[in-house]
């Protein structure tokens, strides 16, 4: 784990040797949660010290996100594992089936979208998108289909969210818009494209969408901007494949994490 500030990178002690796969910082007190393989949950306080926590699972954990108020975080992982984290500790949330992939909180609400693979083990069909209500701890399916949904982010105004993934049968990319009427596809050139991550610019003008690949030499890593009308590609690589994208709170700047080895199904 690295803390990058002002061009300097400082290594932070995580107390674990397990691979870490997602990180989120509390917007109020700057405490950081990182999660990873074998049920690993790491809590780093703002002063850089570790806080004790006991995991509720041995499953690989894929995503963690604090809510905008900093009062709770949601952790998602394989085989339907969903965990809520608060000052009181960790609490398991039921209702997930397949591998859960991404989390996005809706501003000024107690709701979060959770993305999922479309099949559980032994090809058991599963909802690929859930809506979590923190007031009741209920996880409700809101979409089914043959796409593994991976990345998700609410537009800052909270009116709709963008969800990305790929069709596991035809291996075509999927970009969708979720709102009160449900999930609907966004048209784009999607053949052999594997969207993995999406992030809205803070003012909600454009969403950055990044892609990975399923197998070596099967595609390209790309970063494109969607302005609700169309896509504009801003980066393409034959060597780097993306798993995460985030915007700076100020200025029109974004960062995307890529690897030469990452595969879409591991994102």
pTM of the entire structure?
0.96
Cβ 224 vs Cβ 231: under 8 Å:
yes
Domain range for 171: 146-267
Residues in the chain, pLDDT under 70: 267
> What pLDDT does residue 86 have?
95
Q: Residues with Cβ < 8 Å from 68, sequence gap 6 or more?
A: 27, 105, 107, 108
At residue 48, the pLDDT reads 85
Q: pLDDT tens digits for 139-185?
A: 999 999 999 999 999 999 999 999 999 999 999 999 999 999 999 99
Residue 65 lies in a domain: no
- CATH number assigned to the domain comprising residue 236: 2.130.10.10
pLDDT at 77: 98
How far apart, in whole angstroms, are the C-alpha atoms of residue 248 and residue 255?
8
Evaluate whether residue 52 is within a structural domain: no
Q: Is residue 205 part of a domain?
A: yes
d(CA 21, CA 104): 16
| Predicted local confidence at residue 261, as pLDDT | 82
Q: State the Cα–Cα distance between residues 86 and 96, nearest whole angstrom.
A: 20
Query: How many structural domains compose the chain?
Result: 1
Give the pLDDT confidence score for residue 161 in this predicted structure: 98
Q: Flag whether 246 is in a domain.
A: yes
Q: Is residue 105 part of a domain?
A: no
Residue 37 falls within a domain, yes or no? no
pLDDT at 216: 78
Quick one: 160 exposed, middle or buried, by C-beta within 10 A (0-12, 13-18, 19+)?
middle
* Domain annotation covers residue 228: yes
User: What local confidence, expressed as pLDDT, does residue 264 receive?
Assistant: 81
Return the pLDDT at 3. Answer: 87
CA 232, CA 223: separation in Å to the nearest integer?
Answer: 9
Domain assignment of residue 187, yes or no: yes
């Amino acid at each position: 784990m690295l803390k990058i500030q002002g061009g300097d990178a400082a290594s932070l002690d995580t107390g674990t040797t397990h691979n870490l796969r997602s990180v989120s910082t509390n917007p109020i007190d700057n405490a950081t949660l990182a999660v990873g393989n074998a049920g690993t949950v790491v809590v780093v306080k703002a002063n850089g010290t570790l806080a004790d926590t006991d995991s509720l699972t041995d499953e690989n954990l894929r995503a963690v996100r604090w809510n905008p108020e900093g009062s709770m975080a949601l952790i998602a992982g394989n085989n339907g594992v969903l965990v809520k984290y608060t000052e009181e500790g960790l609490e398991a949330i039921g209702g997930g089936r397949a591998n859960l992939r991404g989390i996005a909180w809706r501003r000024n609400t107690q709701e979060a979208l959770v993305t999922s693979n479309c099949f559980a083990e032994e090809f058991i069909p599963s909802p690929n998108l859930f809506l979590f209500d923190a007031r009741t701890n209920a996880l409700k399916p809101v979409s089914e289909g043959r796409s593994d949904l991976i990345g998700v982010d609410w537009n800052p105004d909270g009116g709709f969210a963008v969800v990305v993934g790929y069709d596991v049968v035809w291996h075509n990319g999927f970009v969708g818009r979720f709102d009160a009427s449900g999930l609907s596809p966004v048209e784009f050139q999607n053949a052999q494209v594997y969207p993995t991550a999406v992030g809205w610019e803070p003012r909600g003008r454009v969403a950055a969408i990044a892609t990975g690949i399923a197998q070596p030499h099967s595609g390209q890593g790309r970063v494109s901007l969607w302005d609700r009308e169309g896509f504009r590609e801003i980066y393409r690589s034959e060597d780097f494949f993306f798993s995460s994208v985030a915007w700076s709170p100020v200025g029109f700047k974004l960062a995307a994490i890529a690897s030469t080895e990452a595969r879409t199904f591991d994102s």
